[in-house]
Amino acid sequence: MLNKKDLLGIKELSLEEIILFLDTAAGFKDVIGRDIKKVPALRGKTTVNLFFEPSTRTRTSFELAAKRLSMDVINFSVPTSSVVKGEGLIDTALTVQALGADFIIIRHASSGAPYLLAKHLKASIINAGDGTNEHPTQALLDAFTIREKKGDIKGLEIAIVGDIAHSRVAKSNIYCLTKLGARVRLIGPPTLIPDEVKELGVGVFHNMEEGLKNVDVLMMLRIQMERQGKGFFPSTDEYSRNWGLTSERLALAGDSVIVMHPGPMNRGIEIVSEIADGPNSVILDQVTNGIAVRMAVMYLLSGVKR
Amino acid sequence: MSKELMTKEDIDRALTRMAHEIIEKNRGIGKLCLVGIQRGGVYLARRLASKIRMIEKKEIPVGSLDIALYRDDLAIRKEQPVVRRTEVSFEITNLIIILVDDVLFTGRSIRAAMDALMDLGRPAAIQLAVLIDRGHRELPIKADYVGKNIPTALSETVEVQLGEEGSGDRVIIKKTGDQTADAE
Amino acid sequence: MKIAIKGGHIIDPSQATDWIGDIFIDNGRIKEVRKQSATLRSLGKGGQSGRDDPGFRTIDAKGMFVLPGLIDMHVHLREPGFEYKETICTGTLAAVKGGFTAVCCMPNTFPVNDNASVTEFIKRKASQEGHCMVFPIGAITKSQKGIELAEIGTMRDEGCIAFSDDGQPVMNSLIMRRALEYSKAFNVPVISHCEDTTLSESGVMNEGLLSVTLGLKGIPAESEQIMIFRDIVLAELAGGRLHIAHVSTEGSVNLIRSMKERGSNVTAETCPHYFSITEEAVKGYDTNAKVNPPLRTARDVAAIKEGLRDGTIDVIATDHAPHHRDEKLREFDMAPFGISGLETAVSLSLSLVDEGVLTMSQLVEKMATNPARIMQIEQGTIKTDAEASLVLIDRNKKYTVEAQKFVSKGKNTPFEGCILKGKPVLTICRGKIYE
């Protein structure tokens, strides 16, 4: 059912393909719950993690997923590689492919970098986050988690809070959840929510109390400190006062609201510890599910003939 | 063009006989459990369990096993096989597992199933129960309990249709024109 | 070398020529231009004919248009300093292939053409290796940094015919004012690249829904409009001959139109890509569609066409910006801006005639007559004693764009694989024939 060798973005996936990824991930969640958390399915294949931006959690998640499928894993981090010596992106990737990579997991600061690789390489390219474009496996694991906790995603009221403009996690989630039939709304300061998103069929709120009413799923985004100096908001203190998730605000949402966060969290800024560690939080489930989803992605892509 | 090899009644009688054979060979059901291979084997395993329950008046644990991730042909298939649930909620170490499948053909599915079971624990023994044995083994695998032996040509396909999947119960054989043994 | 061009449809608005006729060329100059009379035509005669003389060439131009050699007043020849992207030799060869017999080259070379010795180098190279006329445009400010005026007078004397900091805007309004004022002493146009860099920042494509969904930083249309307004108002204050380079948005066209109605002497140019394709060409992160100003929306394309039709936009220039293949084969953010446009310009512009936006005569105005007038050069006319610089155009010839076959070193075009109709088939530059 899958006819593309790469996973570059949710934008390119049909609803059927998204559901295939989620259903397959359910099978893999069984595997990682056992004592022997390994299956021989992709034995002998090689995955290379090509991370041009630092990231421990996503990289580790992909690494574990690959290993659980019995693949060999190589980690290629920018500071330790020849990219520092001025080698271009395509040259680096071709070298990696010549070493025998079947999968290249790429995280890069430039939007579109994975698309460039997918065009020129035979290996399967998985986008682990490109610039401010997309982070498709994050959206898939988020959807999987929501489905697990809330059943059918269709019709759910889902709020994404924070720096939408610079968040590839937000974008991938917007595309994924709207395709699955959820009603998505964005909450945050006007400077961090581009006007044009309304054309994607989402609601926009600048007042958090308003925006949280009747919400079934609350997705908090990390606020990046670098944005503070550039006129997007005056201080993290002011941000937190207006858009930080506190227990009072959480009470305004629906009764059985679940709280999500892609990590890493700025405790005390966008989310308080009581909620992060509290009963509504599914943040740790997201981490576990991430491995199952990434296993499903690699398993399904491996079957597609070049 | 297909031909019916077993009717609903034929299947039921065969399963009844197999249930008796399983109990006889193992001298009771003390250390037994049934594990069906997705999907046909799972329904058959449940039916065998209910027949055994009627005979011995005791419950026997039943699990389901998905073998997609242990297949030996993942690299050459056109498309990856669908991954289904593996639900074995009991400890299999030291138990005798009756592995159940609908059709025994090349034996590769059974090899994959055994590898999957080994990753779940260390059974005391594995015995194999199949509704249909159609020959053409490619690995040294033999069924302990067989519903019906049917000699076939490679260009034919044997299909076990079960009521749990919508249609009535029957076993049919038809020509595929395909010379290669295509498991599933 | 004597050349006779017979039976072509000659169009030269500067001479009010728009009829079928013959042109006779001797020794690089036009000797005679005459209408083909109906009787002569029907008799199959038409002046001197048929002598098989090596010093004599007859070109049958029946069914073709004969236009004055076109003038591209906005090209980047890259020499000195970036010869790996293009040289004066390859760039001017691409120009004649594209139907241009004169080009004006921008100063963002290395070193920048901000002094007479670089100007002299360019002129010398052009006379030795150039295939068409080359008129250098000098920088407005030293190193194009926008801080100190460059030696405009001395450069003008050496051969610069206009001044621009193209590639950059002159962000400081006081400096732009001084530049306009000072230019009056030398009667040279000041060509402005209008972009508010504090708004466009590190943008790489048009700002809109597409830039949001592609995750690429956007350049708002307003960054162009703000500077156009500022420059025209400064020109009203300071005087001078302001020319707006590469207009790309609806708002810009509206601004220029209303200022012209108020009596401003501003002139403006656009490029073929701004009336042919939109920001959709960027989808898939195609760096060949990365250009500054960026490709805009369908509304902007319609407004540019309207601006050409009603005379708001005076000139079609290419902003020919060749780059090396490796530079464009990278992440979208890192690739340089620019489209290699000399060899597709005429075909793309002819579609305006097909669509009824311009007549052939008006097209020649935009691509020859007006550039000549604005830059004050004696080019772009077909008349007795003028230099023999002409182009023959087959309006019906269909072809597929193949960038690898470009004569320019720059193969960076978003039109790769497109089927275009109409192209220049023969160019004569000062009597030399290029086919």
Residue-range domains of chain B with CATH: 10-154 (3.40.50.2020)
Considering the domain A136-282, what is its CATH architecture?
3-Layer(aba) Sandwich (3.40)
Q: What is the pLDDT of residue C44?
A: 47
| Subunit contact A111:C285, Cβ cutoff 8 A | yes
Q: pLDDT under 50 in chain A at which residues?
A: none
Which residues in chain B have Cβ-Cβ distances shorter than 8 Å to A1?
Answer: 79
Q: Any chain B CB within 8 A of the CB of A151?
A: no
Question: Which residue, chain included where needed, has tokens 């100096």?
Answer: A229
Same topology between domain A15-134+287-302 and domain A136-282 = yes
Partner-chain contact A112 C330, CB within 8 Å:
no
Task: Give the pLDDT confidence score for residue C348 in this predicted structure.
Answer: 98
The percentage of chain B sitting over the pLDDT mark of 70, rounded to a whole number, equals 96
The pLDDT assigned to B183 comes to 45
The answer to whether A125 touches A6, Cβ cutoff 8 Å, is yes
Cβ-Cβ contacts under 8 Å, A200 against chain C: 209, 213
pLDDT at position A229 is: 65
Choose, from C166, C300, C319, C394, the residue flagged as catalytic. Answer: C319
Instruction: Report the predicted TM-score, pTM, of the whole model to 2 decimal places.
Output: 0.88
Confidence at residue A1, expressed as pLDDT on a 0 to 100 scale: 60
Q: Is A78 on the interface with C (CB under 8 A)?
A: no
Positive or negative, the CA dihedral B85, B86, B90, B91 is negative
Domains of chain C, first to last: 2-66+386-434 (2.30.40.10), 70-375 (3.20.20.140)
Kindly determine whether residue C215 and residue A131, on different chains, have CB atoms separated by under 8 Å.
yes
Interface contact flag, B74 A28, Cβ < 8 Å? no
C285 closest CB neighbour out of A115, A165, A194: A115
User: DSSP assignment, residue C386?
Assistant: S
Give the catalytic positions of A in this structure.
Answer: 57-58, 85, 107, 135
Interface partners of B (3+ CB pairs, < 8 Å)? A
In this prediction, residue A54 carries a pLDDT of 83
- Look at residue A304 and give its three-state secondary structure: coil
* Domain residue limits, chain A: 15-134+287-302, 136-282
The DSSP code for A193 is S
Segment B25-46, tens digit of pLDDT: 999 988 999 999 998 899 999 9
Q: Which residues in chain A have Cβ-Cβ distances shorter than 8 Å to C217?
A: 132
Q: What average pLDDT score do residues C208-213 get?
A: 96
Nearest-CA neighbor of A25 among A55, A63, A59, A69? Answer: A69
Q: What is the pLDDT of residue A235?
A: 85
Q: Is C231 a catalytic residue?
A: no
Per-residue pLDDT at C132 exceeds 50:
yes
| Contact across the interface for A2 and B83, Cβ inside 8 Å | no
On whether the CB atoms of residues B51 and B83 are closer than 8 A, the answer is no
Cβ-based burial of C355 (10 A; exposed 0-12, middle 13-18, buried ≥19): exposed
Q: Which amino acid is at A120?
A: H
Tell me whether residues A1 and B87 touch, CB distance under 8 A. no
Mean pLDDT of C340-346: 97
The per-residue DSSP string of B52-105 comes to HHHHHSS---EEEE--GGG-S-TTT-SSPPPP---B--S--TTPEEEEEEEEES
pLDDT at C300 over 90: yes
Share of chain C above pLDDT 90, in %: 94
Q: Is B119 on the interface with A (CB under 8 A)?
A: yes
CA atoms within 13 A on the CB side of A240: 13
Report CB contact under 8 Å: B79, A2: yes
Nearest CA in chain C to A118: C284
What is the rounded average pLDDT of the residues C136-161? 96
Residue ranges with strand state E in A89-161: 103-108, 124-130, 157-161
Task: Provide the chain A residues 200-259 that lie in CB contact (below 8 A) with chain C.
Answer: 200
- The per-residue pLDDT for A3 is 78
Tell me the nearest-neighbour CA distance from A44 into chain C, angstroms.
31
Q: Which CATH superfamily is domain A15-134+287-302 in?
A: Aspartate/ornithine carbamoyltransferase (3.40.50.1370)
Q: Provide the 3-class DSSP secondary structure of residue C118.
A: helix
Nearest residue on chain C to A112, alpha-carbon basis: C285
For chain B, say whether A26 makes contact (Cβ under 8 Å). yes
Say if residue C291's pLDDT is above 90.
yes
Mean pLDDT (whole number) for C93-111: 97
Beta bridge partners of C141: C149
A71 and B CB contact within 8 Å: no
Chain C contact probe: residue of A78, A134, A196 with most C CBs at under 10 A: A196
Rg (CA), chain C: 21
Which chain C residues are Cβ-neighbours of A89 within 8 angstroms? Answer: 330-331
> In terms of DSSP bridges, do strands A183-187 and A203-205 run parallel, antiparallel, or are they unpaired?
parallel
Distance separating alpha carbons of residues C134 and C89, to the nearest angstrom: 11
Does the N-terminal peptide bond of residue C293 adopt cis geometry, omega within 30 degrees of 0?
yes
- For A39, which of B70, B80, B85 is closest by C-beta distance? B70
Q: Which residues face C164 on adjacent strands? A: C191
φ/ψ of A74, rounded to 5, equals -125, 135
Q: What is the pLDDT along chain B (184 residues), one digit of tens a residue?
A: 789 999 999 999 999 999 999 999 999 988 999 999 998 899 999 999 999 999 999 999 999 999 999 998 887 777 788 898 889 999 999 999 999 999 999 999 999 999 999 999 999 999 999 999 999 999 999 999 999 999 999 999 999 999 998 888 999 999 886 444 444 4
Report pLDDT for C263. Answer: 94
User: Which chain B residues are closer than 8 Å to A34 by Cβ?
Assistant: 119-120
pLDDT at B85: 86
Report which of residues A12 and C41 the model is more confident about. Answer: A12
Inter-chain residue contact A196 with C208, CB threshold 8 Å: yes
Confidence of residue C365 (pLDDT cuts 50, 70, 90): very high
Residue A82: its pLDDT value, please? 55
Mean pLDDT of chain C: 94
Enclosing H/E stretch for C226: helix C221-238
* Whether the Cβ atoms of residue A244 and residue A126 lie closer than 8 Å to each other: no
d(CA B4, CA C122): 90
> Is A24's CB within 8 Å of B82's CB?
yes
Q: Which residue of C has its CA nearest to A175?
A: C213
Whether the bond between C124 and the residue before it is cis, its omega within 30 degrees of 0, is no
Sole residue written with tokens 């052009």: C126
